[in-house]
Amino acid sequence: MSRPMGDSHRRFLQSMMSNGIIGASQAKALHKHCCETHGAHYAHDRLDEFIDVINTQLQPMFMNIRKGMSEEDGLQYYALVNMAETDVTRMASDYADNELELFRKTMDLIVDSESGSASSTDILNCADSLQTKKLKKKETEHVLNKFVQDKWLNEKHGEYTLSVRCIIEMEQYMRVIYQDLIKVCHVCHNIALQCQICENPRCGIKMHLPCVARYFKGRSEPHCPACNDFWPHEIPEILRSQSQGSQSLSSSAKENTAPTPSTSTTRRSKRS
Q: How far is the CB of 255 from Zn ion (least distance, A)?
A: 30
Stretch that binds Zn ion, among 7-15, 50-58, 226-234, 244-252 (CB under 5 A): 226-234
Stretch that binds Zn ion, among 86-94, 98-106, 161-169, 185-193 (CB under 5 A): 185-193
| Cα–Cα separations (whole angstroms), residue 87 to 53, 101, 104, 180 | 26, 12, 10, 18
Contacts of 62 (CB under 8 A, 6+ apart): 82, 83, 84
Total H helices, total E strands in the chain: 10, 8
Binding residues for Zn ion, total number by CB under 5 A: 11
How many Cα neighbours within 13 Å face the side chain of 4? 2
Contacts of 74 (CB under 8 A, 6+ apart): 208, 209, 210, 211, 213, 214, 239, 242
Q: How far is the CB of 30 from Zn ion (least distance, A)?
A: 25
| Cα–Cα separations (whole angstroms), residue 83 to 44, 101, 175 | 28, 21, 15
| Contact between 76 and Zn ion per CB under 5 A | no
| Contact between 211 and Zn ion per CB under 5 A | yes
Given candidates 187, 191, 209, 249, which one binds Zn ion under the rule CB under 5 A?
187
Specify the residue, 174 or 187, whose C-beta has the smaller distance to Zn ion. Answer: 187
| Contact between 188 and Zn ion per CB under 5 A | yes
d(CA 181, CA 143): 26
| Contact between 256 and Zn ion per CB under 5 A | no
| Contact between 212 and Zn ion per CB under 5 A | no
Question: Which 3 state secondary structure label does DSSP give 170?
Answer: helix
Specify the residue, 29 or 164, whose C-beta has the smaller distance to Zn ion. Answer: 164
| Contact between 105 and Zn ion per CB under 5 A | no
Stretch that binds Zn ion, among 15-23, 126-134, 171-179, 199-207 (CB under 5 A): 199-207
Specify the residue, 137 or 223, whose C-beta has the smaller distance to Zn ion. Answer: 223
- 134 residue type, one letter: K
| Contact between 53 and Zn ion per CB under 5 A | no
- 116 residue type, one letter: G
Q: How far is the CB of 88 from Zn ion (least distance, A)?
A: 24
| Cα–Cα separations (whole angstroms), residue 142 to 110, 148, 149, 160 | 19, 10, 10, 14
Given candidates 5, 177, 226, 238, which one binds Zn ion under the rule CB under 5 A?
226
| Contact between 224 and Zn ion per CB under 5 A | yes
| Contact between 208 and Zn ion per CB under 5 A | yes
Specify the residue, 99 or 171, whose C-beta has the smaller distance to Zn ion. Answer: 171
| Contact between 182 and Zn ion per CB under 5 A | no
242 C-beta neighbours (distance < 10 Å), count: 18
Residue 40 burial (C-beta neighbours within 10 Å; 0-12, 13-18, 19+): middle
| Contact between 239 and Zn ion per CB under 5 A | no
Residues forming the site for Zn ion (CB under 5 A)? 185, 187-188, 198, 200, 203, 208, 211, 224, 226-227
